[in-house]
């Protein structure tokens, strides 16, 4: 029905007759000539109908937005004065010779031009219309290009695309599982996978050596802007490769992706230990575009007569850190109060600060509510260590180390945005050398997951002092977002049992949940390592979208509903009886 | 850890030192020399350890099956007498210089050599070991090659890989849905998709023009050998393409697949109408390798004094068909009884037959329990129409047309196998011109699905006589298996409502289930058409596997359980409470 896509017509087609199909993006009668902007997935082209061809012109006059039409016409060059350099097809127009309305459109239930006026709910209910907007369509098409590029890279590097089950057993990621009642085994349930973690490890045990899958994963969690009940991972696992080799290979993949699709050279990704990232940026996923850094000053304030500082400074779990914001002395009292509130969200109990109004004026040039606790040598040391200049402000965080990191890390990001300090467009990195465990309420928890191998120690050494063990794990971070993370996995049963012990997973529970994995580890399991990328987040970053909803064709609302299909819905009582379950509570939560 | 895959070593590596990792496939001490067959996913290679290197030799002597080891050694040519032409690496062997046991293996819980002795349950419980068998591993690797080839074809033809939801609303395919309880909307459920049918149609309404997805689909049906609760479709949809164009494009894809991966030229696929297929083969998915054909003889037996024949022969819904089996006169009474029983499975109430013992002997050469009802001219007409020769048998089916087609179609297949009549290895075809509806218990049912467009008639014409309408649908058939099927879809609301009416779907029900589709049809929906292939079945055919379980990495049993992970399992009562559901019946069905 077509000879070309609309968006593909250009000067090389001058004089040719073309047949196009698409949607009326806009149609205007200007001085007795109808100008039709015809749209398909590849772009817009202008079609002109003049009254000489009366029958055709009359049809053109009836066109309204979003009619689906077929156009035949001759490609002409636009007069110089009408060339539109903003438009891919802006040098030409089609002189319309025929026009067929394939399917009319009723007036639209949402605005295509001023889409900002459409509520999120409307956009999702009429998703098929919202996706007609070029901005949305381009993101979905870009996504297809990304997956295609990733697949080509992995295929050509010997990775095998292998499917793992969706109906499976509860997985160990710790979030809430979606359950699926079994009909054959009444009273029992499948779980939808939070990731194919165990299956990909089993595939390595089978000897497939290099696996990948672009795969749906599921978490029944309360949603935030960048979370969806179902999301997509680029899931990778390899045998006989070190963490170094996995990082190298996947970095190469990501570099290729940015090169192919955005013409961006990401360069080599710097590596940074978890400890250094927390120290300098207060985050395990630092945004390196932001030049601000935290500076530790506990040693300087150990002896000041100010409990807020000297408490944490003398506490082995405490931390006192300074953050210098260039030109920040311009902040008003109100703005500093706002920063204090913001830090409070992340657990900071207050926010000490120091303005460097005039460096040359010595202590007279310094303004700070805590100045009375600090003497000149300390102030000078702080200024010198932070590199503060006249006109800067220094913010202080003093608390447990994790609170300082979180609050000062958040302030660092906020100040970077507020003062427009971000440098460079793309700043990838690897964060490595994570601790194996973190202590929460006196118990150890896995920082990655319970299958992550420690780096360079035996099971006995790990058991002896789990708190200091470093894992052989790695996270790829871009512009402060974690794109993906992975690790070398444990490949022998003794180490795996030791980790379960440390995590307080009883032998019986371990056996019930992961017995098949422990069993599988007994039969010549190869060393293996892998990684999973969050595809939705990668696309979101690459397209500059503000939500992962905007890079998925059919996302759900923040209450995990689909206004388009009205899912979820009530079930047929007969089917519930077949499944051996009953609804005990019917509450329709308001959105 | 490796320089090469085991299976890749050949004479071009002679004299080189190589480092290999893999599993001990077999290890034998033959006359003081250890011969180790080392296996990885690419194949086997023979490594030889002799006692000169005592330390290494001693390790080699400890090897047992399925140990994971690293080998360093020099590639040597095998002596001529030891060249193994059955083996990819049979011209060389590795002279082992180093040997590291990476991970030992406990004695295996199932046999790798005599895998026929392993029960299906054992094979699934230790799937990771069963998948180490080269036969199984090769199928899974072949599958990855198929999906890669399909994606390359579709990507390069402008098809966009777009993901559709897994958590969605009950879909219209008619099989039982898997349900997923919603936590936010207690008492309500998502359904897992039986196909992305409606979403792919919505994507066409959005203007994406060409869509594909290799996607998991779900049906909670009682399982047979070639069914699994989750299976994979190559799902395709296009806009502005006719059924002809869709067939041409997908036929090209399938031809490319067979050419690339099996080096087989499928040639152009013949087309056959549903009516002709039923008439000649008693099947809507004829196996064209089988030369046998049904021959209609109702006109010949209209007036015989045998109610079994003359009843159906004079019934507008009846049919009398003959099936000639060359050399079939050799069948014993017992064998004919078995055929009769077999036909009975498909609803035939008996099986009349006629042996042509000696064509030259006239009626004396004919042996048949129904001979008394037939006179010589009728017998001669039957012989001439079926082309029967001396030594053949003719089987008769007389009943309602659908019973005759099913029973005689089944006999045709059985006889084709029994008498080894199959010709050619690959016989693809298209079946087209299906009826829109079939009448079951007085009501119309969609032969494809309710979104299939009729061919060349208006909504009024369709409503006037639904029983005769032909759909614009097509099935791709290979060797008697349906590889995939599709249709042109309805693209206007009036036609869609008419079809819902004919199917007896009340306006309210239609609105509740498909309201969003009917609404979407109002806004300039393009003409669209598509197709879905069953990936598992394609792989099964291409690899010669006897079950789709053998081409899936982690399939379920016929009772939809996973002996490996023990899924499904009991749920945490807290989680059930959060979901607002309760288990009302706990029955552990025996397998």
CA angle A216, A219, A221 (to 5 degrees): 150
Alpha carbon distance A425, A427 (integer Å):
7
CB contact under 8 Å between A166 and B216, yes or no, is: yes
* Tokens matching residue A228: 């969806």
**Long-range contacts at A270-276 (CB < 8 A, ≥ 24 apart):** A270/A429, A270/A430, A271/A429, A271/A430, A271/A431, A271/A432, A272/A429, A272/A430, A272/A431, A272/A432, A273/A431, A273/A432, A273/A433, A274/A431, A274/A432, A274/A433, A274/A434, A274/A435, A275/A433
pLDDT of residue A233: 98
- The pLDDT tens digits of the residues spanning B246-297 come to 999 999 999 999 999 999 999 999 999 999 999 999 999 999 999 999 999 9
In this predicted structure, what is the pLDDT of residue A115? 80
CATH of domain B6-103: 2.40.50.140
pLDDT at B533: 98
Instruction: Give the Cβ contact number of residue A144 at 10 Å.
Output: 20
pLDDT of residue B591 exceeding 50, the answer is: no
Other C-beta atoms lying within 10 Å of the C-beta of residue A108: 16
Annotated binding site of A for L-aspartate: 173, 219, 448, 489
Contact B178 A191 (CB under 8 A): no
pLDDT at B393: 98
CB B56 within 8 A of CB B94: no
> Do the chains contact at B177 and A67, CB–CB below 8 Å?
no
Q: Tell if the CB–CB gap between B160 and A166 is shorter than 8 Å.
A: no
Distances (CA, A) of B531 to B235, B450, B528: 6, 14, 11
> What integer pLDDT is reported at residue B585 of this predicted model?
64
B108 interfacial to chain A (CB closer than 8 Å): yes
Strands B179-181 and B366-367: unpaired
Mean pLDDT value of segment B355-364: 94
Residue A114 or residue B362, greater confidence: B362
- Say yes or no: A115 contacts chain B, CB-CB below 8 A: no
Q: Which of residues 460-519 of A touch B (CB under 8 A)?
A: 491-492, 516
* Distance from the A460 Cα atom to the nearest Cα atom in chain B, whole angstroms: 18
Report yes or no: B406 at the A interface, CB cutoff 8 Å: no
A333: nearest Cα among A308, A351, A311: A351
Which residue, among B123, B170, B488, B565, would best test binding to A if mutated, counting the most A CBs under 10 Å from its CB?
A: B565
Inter-chain residue contact B516 with A564, CB threshold 8 Å: yes
The angle at the Cα of B65, spanning B59 to B71, to the nearest 5 degrees, equals 45
Q: Interior CA angle at B89 toward B86 and B91, to 5°? A: 85
Cβ of residue A108 closer than 8 Å to a chain B Cβ: yes
The helix/strand/coil state of A503 is coil
Residue of B nearest to A19 (CA): B240
For residue B173, pLDDT over 70 is answered with no
Shortest CB distance from A569 goes to which of B170, B207, B527?
B170
Q: pLDDT by residue (tens digit) across B15-50?
A: 999 999 999 999 999 888 999 999 999 999 999 999
**Minimum CA–CA partner of B583 in chain A:** A581
Token pair in block for residue B193: 């998709």
pLDDT digits (tens, 9 = 90+) for B293-323: 999 999 999 999 999 999 999 999 999 999 9
Please identify among residues 184-213 of chain B the ones whose CB lies closer than 8 Å to any CB of chain A: 184-192, 198-199, 202-203, 205-209
Q: Is B20 annotated as a binding residue?
A: no
- Per-residue pLDDT of chain A (591 residues), as tens digits, is 999 999 999 999 999 999 999 999 999 998 889 999 999 999 999 999 999 999 999 999 999 999 999 999 999 999 999 999 999 999 999 999 999 999 999 999 998 888 888 898 999 999 999 999 999 999 999 999 999 999 999 999 999 999 999 999 876 556 789 999 999 999 999 999 999 999 999 999 999 999 999 999 999 988 766 789 999 999 999 999 999 999 999 999 999 999 999 999 999 999 999 999 999 999 999 999 999 999 999 999 999 999 999 999 999 999 999 999 999 999 999 999 999 999 999 999 999 999 999 999 999 999 999 999 999 999 999 999 999 999 999 999 999 999 999 999 999 999 999 999 999 999 999 999 999 999 888 899 999 989 999 999 999 999 999 999 999 999 999 999 999 999 999 999 999 999 999 998 888 888 888 889 999 999 999 999 999 999 999 999 999 999 999 999 999 999 999 999 999 999 888 889 999 999 996 555 444
**Looking at beta carbons, which residues of chain A come within 8 Å of B239?**
21
Strand ranges, E, within B479-527: 481-488
Residue B571, CA distances (Å) to A191, A386, B578 in order: 9, 55, 12
Nearest to B148 among A24, A161, A177 (CB): A161
pLDDT of residue A591: 42
**Rounded-to-integer distance, Cα B257 and Cα A381, Å:** 71
pLDDT over 80 at B386, yes or no: yes
- Tokens 């003062």, residue located: A419
Q: CA distances (Å), B230 to each of A167, B198, B552, in order?
A: 8, 19, 10
> Is-same-fold flag (A6-103; A290-423)?
no
Torsion of CA A374, A377, A380, A385, to 10 degrees: -100
pLDDT in tens, A271-325: 999 999 999 999 999 999 999 999 999 999 999 999 999 999 999 999 999 999 9
Element holding A322 (H helix, E strand): strand A318-325
Prediction ipTM score: 0.95
B169 chain-A contacts, CB cut-off 8 A: 562, 565-569
**pLDDT of the residue at B171:** 60
CATH architecture of the domain A290-423 equals 2-Layer Sandwich (3.30)
Give the nearest chain B residue to A5 (CA atoms): B209
Give pLDDT tens digits for B418-435.
999 999 999 999 999 999
Q: Which residue has the higher pLDDT, B585 or B324?
A: B324
pLDDT grade, residue B506 (50/70/90)? confident
How many other C-beta atoms are found inside a 10 Å radius of the C-beta of residue B317?
9
pLDDT at B590: 45
The reply to whether A169 touches chain B by the CB within 8 Å rule is yes
Put simply, the answer to whether B206 touches A129 (Cβ < 8 Å) is yes
Domain boundary assignment for chain A:
6-103, 290-423
């Amino acid at each position: 029905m077509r000879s070309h896509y609309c968006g593909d017509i250009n000067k090389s087609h001058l004089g040719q007759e073309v047949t196009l199909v698409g949607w009326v993006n806009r149609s205007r009668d200007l001085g007795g000539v109808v100008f039709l902007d015809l749209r398909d997935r590849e772009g817009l082209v202008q079609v002109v109908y003049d009254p000489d061809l009366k029958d055709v012109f009359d049809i053109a006059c009836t066109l309204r937005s979003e009619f689906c039409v077929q156009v035949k016409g001759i490609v002409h060059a636009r007069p110089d004065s009408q060339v539109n350099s903003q438009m891919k097809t802006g040098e030409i127009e089609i002189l319309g010779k025929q026009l067929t309305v394939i399917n009319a459109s009723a007036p639209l239930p949402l605005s295509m031009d001023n889409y900002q006026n459409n509520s999120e709910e409307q956009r999702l209910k009429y998703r098929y219309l919202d996706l007609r907007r070029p901005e949305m369509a381009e993101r979905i098409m870009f996504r297809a290009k990304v997956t295609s590029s990733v697949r080509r890279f992995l295929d050509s590097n010997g990775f095998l695309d292998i499917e793992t089950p969706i109906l499976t057993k509860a997985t160990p990621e710790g979030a809430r599982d979606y359950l699926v009642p079994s009909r054959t085994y009444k009273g029992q349930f499948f779980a939808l996978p939070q990731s194919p973690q165990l299956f990909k490890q089993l595939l390595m045990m089978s000897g497939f050596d290099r696996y990948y899958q672009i795969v749906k994963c599921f978490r029944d969690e309360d949603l935030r802007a960048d979370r969806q009940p179902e999301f997509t991972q680029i899931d990778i696992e390899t045998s006989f490769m070190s963490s170094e080799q996995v990082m190298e290979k996947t970095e190469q993949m990501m570099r290729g992706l940015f090169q192919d699709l955005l013409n961006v050279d990401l360069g080599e990704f710097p590596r940074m230990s978890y400890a250094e990232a927390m120290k300098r940026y207060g985050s395990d996923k630092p945004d390196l575009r932001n030049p601000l850094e935290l500076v530790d000053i506990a040693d300087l304030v150990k002896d000041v007569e100010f409990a807020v500082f000297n408490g944490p400074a003398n506490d082995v779990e405490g931390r006192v850190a300074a953050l210098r914001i260039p030109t920040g002395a311009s902040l008003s009292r109100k703005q500093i109060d706002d920063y204090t509130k913001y830090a409070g969200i992340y657990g900071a109990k207050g926010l000490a600060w120091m303005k460097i109004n005039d460096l040359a004026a010595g202590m007279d040039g310094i303004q700070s509510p805590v100045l009375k606790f600090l003497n000149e040598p300390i102030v000078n040391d702080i200024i010198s260590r932070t590199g503060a200049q006249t006109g800067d402000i220094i913010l202080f965080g003093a608390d447990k180390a994790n609170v300082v990191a979180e609050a000062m890390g958040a302030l660092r990001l906020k100040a970077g945005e507020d003062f427009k300090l971000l440098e460079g467009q793309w700043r990838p990195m690897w964060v490595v050398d994570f601790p194996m465990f973190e202590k929460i309420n006196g118990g150890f928890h896995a920082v990655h997951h319970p299958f992550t191998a420690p780096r360079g120690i035996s099971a006995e050494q790990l058991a002896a002092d789990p708190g200091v063990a470093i894992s052989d794990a790695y996270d790829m971070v871009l512009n402060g977002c974690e794109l993906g993370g992975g690790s070398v996995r444990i490949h022998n049963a003794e180490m795996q049992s030791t980790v379960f012990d440390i995590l307080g997973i009883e032998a019986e529970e371990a056996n019930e949940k992961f017995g098949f994995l422990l069993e599988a580890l007994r039969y010549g399991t190869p060393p293996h390592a892998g990684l999973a990328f969050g595809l939705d987040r990668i696309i979101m970053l690459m397209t500059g979208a503000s939500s992962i909803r905007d890079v998925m064709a059919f996302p759900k609302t923040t209450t995990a509903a689909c206004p388009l299909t009205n899912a979820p819905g009530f079930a047929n009582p007969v089917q519930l009886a077949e499944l051996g379950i009953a609804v005990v509570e019917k509450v329709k939560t308001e959105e």
